Structure 1
């Protein structure tokens, strides 16, 4: 997926300014595809230059309202129908887990338990979002509810995994490295 297709997808449902799209991003897509304000505005400029969106209104202080062109709508549909996304997974916690043997066992266990706590807090935040929204407004919010459910289930999985992994370490099912380098003493 790309930021380009996320913006096209949002514009399928309603025209919007860069600010409007940033707000929609922050309350919905940010959970699955984070983007900064500068990235969104830069991509809108590129989409306008390629003819996939157009400025349909200009307001005070240079505020531009964007809408999809027929070509932009076709690109959004093509992306959904024809593109099989490569699923690269970058997960800092899992990367760190590969190297937990560098820590003393109790610190490694604590690191995993902190991850479980973080996942629990994220679950609670997603649950609050789920309970605060009207999920029947339109197709965007109905499909957003599907994504939110994935987030809820993922956080439950992360909590369960972190507790399991911590228990594996506690019970000694993961060997300590034979030659763990000693950390330098602080000055």
Structure 2
């Protein structure tokens, strides 16, 4: 369902566009929120067209289709955003690894969280740049809220990893666990 709604939202915001451009948007600006491959986007666009939520506005070279959202698609997106409770079930591999850190000796665990801290510091910087571009007065602002959430989440994980590394190093220095 989320891919379907993401595509409808992108079409509302970007206007008529093709599957390739939508996939690029996922890669360029939504990767911290949701990922989608060509193999997922094209079949979903076809299903959206079958159900009348989008239409094929025109076809270009090599059968490239440009899609546009219909009023029914706008209504479905609005309904999903305002009436459907999001799935808050979290399957987070990082959280599982954090839970399992005690299975490693403290040196290996500290190395693992140091790597996470470095990754999420870089990720925070990347998303911050994206967010700042979205805040530009010439921008539509689409995605600025998701980018801000991405900055805050990435920053929080980096902070946690730095805390965990310091704690693991202190435990190791005291001779507790490796």
TM-score (normalizing by structure 1): 0.84
1:161 counterpart residue number: 160
- Whether the aligned pair in 1 keeps the contact of 2:57 and 2:68 (CA below 8 Å) is yes
After the TM superposition, list the runs of 4 or more consecutive aligned residues in structure 1 that deviate by more than 3 angstroms: 130-138
User: More displaced, 58-67 or 122-131?
Assistant: 122-131
1:91 counterpart residue number: 92
Rounded Cα–Cα distance in structure 1 between residues aligned with 2:18 and 2:168: 51
1:106 counterpart residue number: 107
Please provide the CA RMSD for this pair: 2.1
CA shift for structure 1 position 135: 3.5
CA shift for structure 1 position 132: 4.3
SS at match of 2:68: strand
Gap regions ≥5 residues in structure 1: 178-187
2:145 counterpart residue number: 146
Rounded Cα–Cα distance in structure 2 between residues aligned with 1:131 and 1:59: 34
- Whether the aligned pair in 2 keeps the contact of 1:12 and 1:73 (CA below 8 Å) is yes
Larger Rg: 1
- Whether the aligned pair in 2 keeps the contact of 1:135 and 1:145 (CA below 8 Å) is no
CA shift for structure 1 position 70: 1.6
Gap regions ≥5 residues in structure 2: none
Alignment of 1:1-187 (within 5 A): 2-13=2-13, 14-133=15-134, 135-137=136-138, 141-172=140-171, 176=177
Rounded Cα–Cα distance in structure 2 between residues aligned with 1:160 and 1:85: 27
CA shift for structure 1 position 133: 4.8
Rounded Cα–Cα distance in structure 2 between residues aligned with 1:83 and 1:151: 22
CA shift for structure 1 position 43: 0.3
- Whether the aligned pair in 2 keeps the contact of 1:117 and 1:159 (CA below 8 Å) is yes
TM-score (normalizing by structure 2): 0.88
Rounded Cα–Cα distance in structure 2 between residues aligned with 1:169 and 1:91: 22
CA shift for structure 1 position 71: 1.1
SS at match of 1:55: strand
CA shift for structure 1 position 137: 4.1
- Whether the aligned pair in 1 keeps the contact of 2:135 and 2:144 (CA below 8 Å) is no
